[in-house]
Structure 1
Amino acid sequence: MFPPRETSSSPLRTPNGRHSMSNLPDFPLSLALYNVLPVALTGLALWFLTRYVAQQDPADRGLALLGAGLILAGGLAKVSWKLIVATTGTDLVWLAAALFPLMAPGFALLAVALWGAVRGQRGRPVSAGLWRVALAVVALAFAAAALRYWVLAIPRGWFLPLLVLASLGNLAASLLLIRAAVSLRRWGTALLFAVNLLMIFALQPIAMMNPKTLAMHWTEQTLTALGTACFALAAYRLWRLTSRERSAARPGPA
């Protein structure tokens, strides 16, 4: 899963009134297109995870679908912004800022749905009201964001609560998936989920570096693509394994 983070590649206005990526004289279209790969891989992983949730905890399939849709929408918004900047020099600030308002609730909803699915996989009872817990957590984070931004007038005060929600949701989802793989004794799948999680932590120092060279941007995106590739493969393996186990456990015709 691509890590929820904000990089230093924010647009700056140039003397001719157009925009270019900070720290880069010319943000290349090739790099903007390369950004599509992690989002596509994440979308593939989310597809398998929603099917996994539907198998193990059908009641929370809608929760997983909504969460996955929000995560993917956030990634597509950021990729679209980068492509527009690279091709036209136009900075659509609202499009860049949409990342965390979309991804934060998405990760929270997905994590709660996965919690129910992992319990279902282990044969444990699942609460029918998980969606209430998810919505309460999301509402609390957005209330904190609104309070900091509109009441306390903190510049970009909305950002921190949503960053915390996205990070915790991503971490919880990753740990739950590792646990699901370990409980099935699929160590390779657990390792793939763990590699993605480690890549998320490894990318944080790079994301905070300023200024960044073009080579650093390529390195950052390559590591992100590697992590999401591991995540997509692990999600597929988990879904395939649990599908086979459910099929094998189904009684045959008399």
Structure 2
Amino acid sequence: MAKKNYEDFPLSLAVFDVVPVLLFGAAVIFIGVRFENTWFRIGSVLCALGGTGKVIWKVIIAATKKDIVWMNRQMRVMMPLGFLGMIAGLIAGIQSGAVKWPVIKGMVCSLPAGGFFAVTVLGMICMGIFAGKLDSTKVRSNWIEQTTNAIAQGCFLLGVVSCILK
């Protein structure tokens, strides 16, 4: 498969790409500290590494104009594996009784957490649509995707914090 011809990605885009990774990382750290599950933690680390790899890839594109293809594509493997690990940890927690599903459901659906999580879900749906509709080689498309992702991950963090503070 041929390399894509990316527009001149500005360094500001690469730096802004760090924001959703940090917001997501903070949220899963808050969860992981309270939910001591190895699978969840491994999954969280894989997701964070996938996001970090993508950030580094964008920095390289912005700084050198070189497309290191595997650094972009690694996220297609790391993210699904990471989320699979997190889900496996959650299921194991429910089965062991460490996670009380009715309690979690009640916190997630309460206000304001439920509103924050709803925005997160809508943002992720938009990201899926963008993946199919927007041209990832265009700077404008990347700004739209990253702004949406930053808002979604910020709301995820706010939802988690809202649940913790209950």
Scaled to the shorter chain, the TM-score interval is 0.7 to 0.9
Matched residue, 1:225: 150
For residue 27 of structure 2, what is the aligned residue in structure 1? 45
Q: Find 1:34's aligned residue among 3, 9, 16.
A: 16
Give distance in 2, aligned partners of 1:184 and 1:195. Answer: 12
Q: Is 1:85 equivalent to 2:61 in the alignment?
A: yes
Question: What is the CA-CA distance between 1:183 and the residue it aligns to?
Answer: 5.3
Offset at residue 185 of structure 1 (A): 6.1
Seen in structure 2, the aligned counterparts of structure 1 residues 103 and 123 have a Cα distance that, compared at 3 Å, is closer
CA contact (8 A) 2:108 2:117 kept: no
1:168-179 to 2 correspondences below 5 Å: none
Q: What is the TM-score of this pair, normalised by structure 2?
A: 0.83
Contact 2:53 2:75 in 1 (8 A): yes
Q: 1:184 to 1:97 in 2, by over 3 A?
A: closer
Alignment of 1:51-130 (within 5 A): 51-54=33-36, 61-117=37-93, 120-122=98-100
Superposed CA RMSD in Å reads 2.4
Change (3 A) 1:190 1:99: same
How far residue 210 of structure 1 moved from its aligned partner, in angstroms, is: 4.6
Residue 203 of structure 1: aligned partner: 127
Gaps of 5+ in 2: none
For 1:120, what is the secondary structure of its paired residue? coil
Equivalent residue letter for 1:120:
A
What whole-Å deviation, never above 9, does each CA across 1:42-85 have from its counterpart, x for those lacking one?
A: 1111101212312xxxxxx2111111111100111111111101
Superposed CA offset, 1:135-185 (max 9, x none): xxxxxxxxxxxxxxxxxxxxxxxxxxxxxxxxxxxxxxxxxxxx8242576
Secondary structure at the residue paired with 1:90? coil
Give the partner amino acid of 1:37.
V
- Larger relative contact order, structure 1 or 2 (CA cutoff 8 Å, min sep 6): 2
Count of matched residue pairs: 161
Other-structure match for 1:235:
160
- Could you tell me the TM-score, scaled by structure 1's length? 0.57
Q: Distance in 1 between matches of 2:58 and 2:23?
A: 18
Task: Decide which structure has greater helix share.
Answer: 2
- Runs of 5+ in structure 1 lacking a partner? 1-9, 13-20, 55-60, 125-178, 242-254
Q: CA, structure 1 residues 103+211, in 2 after alignment: closer, same or farther (shift >3 Å)? A: closer
How far has the Cα of 1:215 moved from its partner? Answer: 3.2
Distance in 1 separating the partners of 2:74 and 2:28: 19
Counterpart of 1:230, as a letter, is C
**Letter matched to residue 149 of structure 2:** T
Whose radius of gyration is greater, 1 or 2? 1
Q: How does 1:170-189 map to 2 (within 5 A)?
A: 180-182=104-106, 186-189=110-113
Give the Å deviation of 1:93: 1.7
